A = this chain, B = another copy of it.
């Protein structure tokens, strides 16, 4: 994946593991408009605290993102904050740009000091390796418990110019992103485009896309200290800066689509996941109520283990709904797996329908559609199952 005007590189810095890419760098050839959304968790990693400050109060333009896996630099106090600054400075010096031109991002274990001597030793090689072909390597370097790299891109025509939007992401566990204003995983996503964007509009568009995509995925329901989505837009396509007018719409749609594809890839690669399940809630009194129901279903261990078992155990789904929203009328609830109705008016439709639903659940991806029969509120989230592998992965993550 190449995005015009962007170079990338990754090296094995030995941050947690040896001989594994764990430090990545993305560089725009020219200053790029920046936008970012970050975890709303009250416990924020040092690079998140620094990133929020940088995006909120710093210049609208930056040049580079340096990102490591293996260490979250979270719960690391003042030293953690200093280490963010030092990392930015080291990279800036090697690139010959200003330290404010470098954004820092981290993912990995919480509460361990960042091994700065390894970062410092790795920076020269990192910078020397920059190339137009390096983005896949960065996509590799940011992985933690992920099994596969996640990339997505779109090209559209904007104002007579072809523009490209490309993104890379990581995330497998601690995934229930709530980022931004208001935005939930450790998930990281870095989006690059050669489009010219108005800075304020870029931030608004990124927040809307994040709310509709990354903030609507759930692996385990745990929200990370490090969730970060950053967008760099470097103007090299030569379009007039987009501010949300007619030209903005197709761009925002493409941005949304890239985010949606990356978000779904995170769920598909969820820790131990064997199923990708779209949960649609309709007929709620309000969208907020629908959202609470969708998230309760998507985080219920009993529902998620039933997904793993390919068991259309709709009683667990209804129980999760009724826990989240106490103002339900169970006699109005209907439920389908894909397009196979299994509950009507709160009552099961029998073994025949359930057998069909079970067959649908044997697929790698399926949908749960619940209609509460009360109003026009709706919501949607994408989640995965809870497998024995999930437990295995997380019972010995650190040891």
Inter-subunit contact B305/A394 (CB<8 Å): yes
Do residues A306 and B394 form an inter-chain contact, with CB atoms below 8 A? yes
Whether the pair B110, A399 counts as a contact (CB closer than 8 A) is no
Known contacts: A309-B399, A327-B42. The answer to whether A77 contacts B394 by CB under 8 A is no
Chain copies in the assembled complex: 2
A37 → chain B closest CB, angstroms: 15
Which residues of the partner chain B approach A302 to less than 8 Å between Cβ atoms?
A: 173-174, 220, 222, 394
Q: Report if A75-B343 is in contact (Cβ < 8 Å); known contacts: A220-B301, A314-B111.
A: yes
Flag the segment in A11-19, A261-269, A317-325 that touches B: A317-325
Interface size class of A (residues with CB under 8 A): 35 or more
A391 to B271, CA, bound (A): 14
- Is B395 touching A325 in the complex (CB atoms < 8 A)? no
Q: Say yes or no: A323-B223 contact (C-beta < 8 A), given A315-B109, A348-B111.
A: yes
**Among the listed B42, B111, B303, B326, which residue makes an inter-chain contact with A42, where contact means beta carbons less than 8 Å apart?**
B326
Judging by beta carbons under 8 Å apart, are A305 and B42 in contact? no
Contact, CB under 8 Å: A75 / B301: no
Cα–Cα, bound, A222→B313 (Å): 14
Residues of B within 8 A of A314 (CB): 75, 110-111
Give the chain B neighbours of A176 by CB distance below 8 A: 323
Which chain B residue has the least Cβ–Cβ distance from A301? B220
CB distance from A366 to the nearest CB of B (A): 16
User: Within 8 Å of chain B (Cβ to Cβ): is A380?
Assistant: no
Judged by a CB distance under 8 angstroms, whether A367 is at the interface is no
A319 and B174 contacting across the interface, CB-CB below 8 Å: yes
**Nearest chain B CB to A291's CB is how many angstroms away?**
16
In the complex the two chains form, what is the Cα distance from A387 to B44 in whole Å? 28
Q: Which residues of A pack against B, CB within 8 Å?
A: 40-44, 72, 74-77, 109-112, 173-174, 176, 178, 220-225, 299-303, 305-306, 308-309, 311, 313-316, 318-323, 325-331, 333, 343, 345-348, 386-388, 390-392, 394-399
